[in-house]
Structures are given as C-alpha cells and as structure tokens.
Amino acid sequence: MTGISRRQFLKLGAAATGAATLAAQTHNVQASTGVGIDPLHVPSMLIDISRCVGCGACQRACCESNELEPTDAEREKLGPQVLTVPVRHDLANDKTRWVKTQCMHCLNPACASACPVSALHQTEEGPIAYRPERCLGCRYCMVSCPFGVPTFEWKDGLTPEIRKCMFCIERQREGESPACAISCPSGALKFGARGELLAEAHSRIESSPDVYVDHVYGEHEAGGTAMLYISDTPFEELGFRMDVPTRPLPAYTWDVMSKIPYVAVGMAAVLGGVSLFTRKRNGWQDHEPAWDHDESSEGES
C-alpha cells in the first residue's frame, strides 16, 4: 500500500500554508500600494465634455504618435489600432455631446493587479504601461478592467498583445505632453498634476453651477483615476458606468486572497485528522513510512 505518513503530510501542509501566506501577503502589497504613487502629483488629464467638439484631432495625433493605421471603420471604437476615440452621444433637444474615451489609468489599477506576469504594470510616474514580451495572452486584464478598455490583438495568436493607451509615457519622460492633449483645438483637454487638475475642475463647477454637473468623474471612481471628467450633461446619459465602487478594485481581490492562509490551515488540519484516523484504523505506526511497507510480505502471509 502506498501513501505518506501523517508527519510528512503535516509538513507538506505547513509548507503549503506558508507559501499561500507569502503569496497573499505579496498580493496585498501589490494590490494596496501599487508603486507608491502620489495621487495629487501623478500626471493626469482633465477632460471637459462641454468643450469637446468631436473633431477627432486627439485620435489623429494619437495614431500618428503611436504609428497606428486604423481603417475608417476601426476609428469608431477602441481597438488594437485605436487607443482613444471621441464617442458621439445624441441627446434630447437635438443636443450632441462627445466623450473622449481611452484608458482611465487608475491609481490602483485592477488590470495590473490581475496580470500574473506584470506585463501590464504601473510605472513609477503613475501611468499603466505594457511589456508585450511578458504577455501570456490570458486576457485577465480585459476581464478585470471596470471600464472595458484593454483590447486584444487577434492578428497573430502566437504573439499575443494587449493594446491600450499608455498615456504617452515615453513622451512624458522626455518632458513632453501627451499627443492628444497638445492637439486639442477647443481646450477640452488639459494635462498636468492630478491635484491641480482636481482643483481646476471643482473651480469650474463652482463658478458655473448652472452649466456643470456637480461631479468630477474619476476623482473617486475605482479608487481614483488619472483621467478626470467634468460635464454639462449627467454622466449616466453619456454612457459612463455609475456603479463603479470608490474603493480601489484590487482591494476586493485582496479580500479573497487574504483568506487563503486560513483556508490552507483549515484544510491541513482536517486532512491531517482524516489521515490520523485512517492510520489508527489500519493499525499503522506514525514512525513507519508507508512506502517502506513490504508489499511482498503481504502476499506471503
């Protein structure tokens, strides 16, 4: 008869529990602190929907900066060749509003937390960047993103690649503003430190309460985002998700991960008890390894 002794089983259980605890603690650090960015100084963008005219200059600048060549049909929504798109919304009273859509660059990104190989990761500056050489093509980032932003490049399944706005992180590191921000002719986009943009957003709302909705979208959603919106139209009428929690989404993952050590300990205790009961019932000795039992002797007896 083959098996392992109770002592060996408990040792394996302890090792598994330790590994689970370490993994959970590591995940907690990654999920709760990210890279330790300052939410007031992280590079951000204020998007004033009331000023957007839907000219598409932001999209054209983005495509040129990232060497993308979308077809006319592809320009209508986010995709591998389209990292930002102004979406048209026809409202009541013949009113039209345009909403620039792109990665929200969450301060505590769910996509980076979900990525098992850190292909998507939060840079030291704050924006969420991508390392394609690490990507497994699991698409966990697509599932975890509350805004449905990351898209998958389907052209070559052997070299999977996730596409999304990187907030022109390389341009930023060279002291330049994102391509979309400097191309906007109507003043709908403003790039800067998040704290300063939040102050300006609230200032615009307070100075024109009859124009703006009293809400800065992205200030608290998903724990805060680098993309901040103000609008003269209720956000729910413009397709914004209003059910996004204000708590950082990776924290919910930690709520589950933090239970792993306790589950592992409980499983080890239960299975250890079962093993002990079975051994006593069969007359085994704790010091006798199961694989040392001579099966040939059973046949002779």
Same domain, 15 and 128: no
- Residue 254 belongs to a domain: no
pTM reported for the whole predicted model? 0.75
Give the separation between CA 110 and CA 106, rounded to whole angstroms: 8
Same domain, 87 and 119: yes
Q: Tell me the average pLDDT of the chain.
A: 82
Whose tokens are 């993103």? That residue is 145
Tell me what pLDDT residue 191 has.
Answer: 98
Alpha helices in the chain (DSSP H): 6-33, 57-65, 110-114, 140-144, 169-173, 179-183, 194-207, 249-257, 260-281, 295-300
Per residue in 181-227, pLDDT (tens digit) is: 999 999 999 999 999 999 999 999 999 999 999 999 999 999 999 99
Q: List phi, psi (to 5°) of 56.
A: 85, 5
Same domain, 114 and 186: yes
Tell me what pLDDT residue 242 has.
Answer: 97
- Residue 301 belongs to a domain: no
- Residue 32 belongs to a domain: no
Give the separation between CA 42 and CA 214, rounded to whole angstroms: 23
- Residue 300 belongs to a domain: no
Tell me what pLDDT residue 250 has.
Answer: 77
Same domain, 204 and 177: yes
Give the separation between CA 204 and CA 213, rounded to whole angstroms: 10
- Residue 31 belongs to a domain: no
Same domain, 167 and 278: no
Same domain, 120 and 173: yes
Give the separation between CA 155 and CA 129, rounded to whole angstroms: 21
Same domain, 92 and 189: yes
Mean pLDDT of 159-185: 95
- Residue 299 belongs to a domain: no
| Sequential DSSP letters for 18-51 | HHHHHHHHHHHHHHHHTT---TTTSEEEEEEGGG
DSSP assignment letter at 242 = S
Give the separation between CA 122 and CA 6, rounded to whole angstroms: 45
Same domain, 88 and 222: yes
Tell me what pLDDT residue 49 has.
Answer: 98
Same domain, 140 and 283: no
- Residue 146 belongs to a domain: yes
Same domain, 118 and 223: yes
Per residue in 104-159, pLDDT (tens digit) is: 999 999 999 999 999 999 999 999 999 999 999 999 999 999 999 999 987 766 77
Per residue in 223-271, pLDDT (tens digit) is: 999 999 999 999 999 999 999 999 987 766 544 444 444 444 455 555 5
In this model, does residue 30 exceed pLDDT 50? no
Tell me what pLDDT residue 155 has.
Answer: 72
Tell me what pLDDT residue 170 has.
Answer: 97
Residue 269's domain spans which residues? 6-24+259-294
Give the separation between CA 206 and CA 145, rounded to whole angstroms: 32
**Residue 225 CA neighbour count, 13 Å, CB half:** 25
Same domain, 166 and 276: no
Give the separation between CA 262 and CA 189, rounded to whole angstroms: 48
Q: Considering its fold, how many domains does the chain have in total?
A: 2
Tell me what pLDDT residue 24 has.
Answer: 43
Per residue in 53-65, pLDDT (tens digit) is: 999 999 999 999 9
Give the separation between CA 132 and CA 128, rounded to whole angstroms: 13
- Residue 274 belongs to a domain: yes
Same domain, 284 and 237: no
CATH number where 236 lies: 3.30.70.20
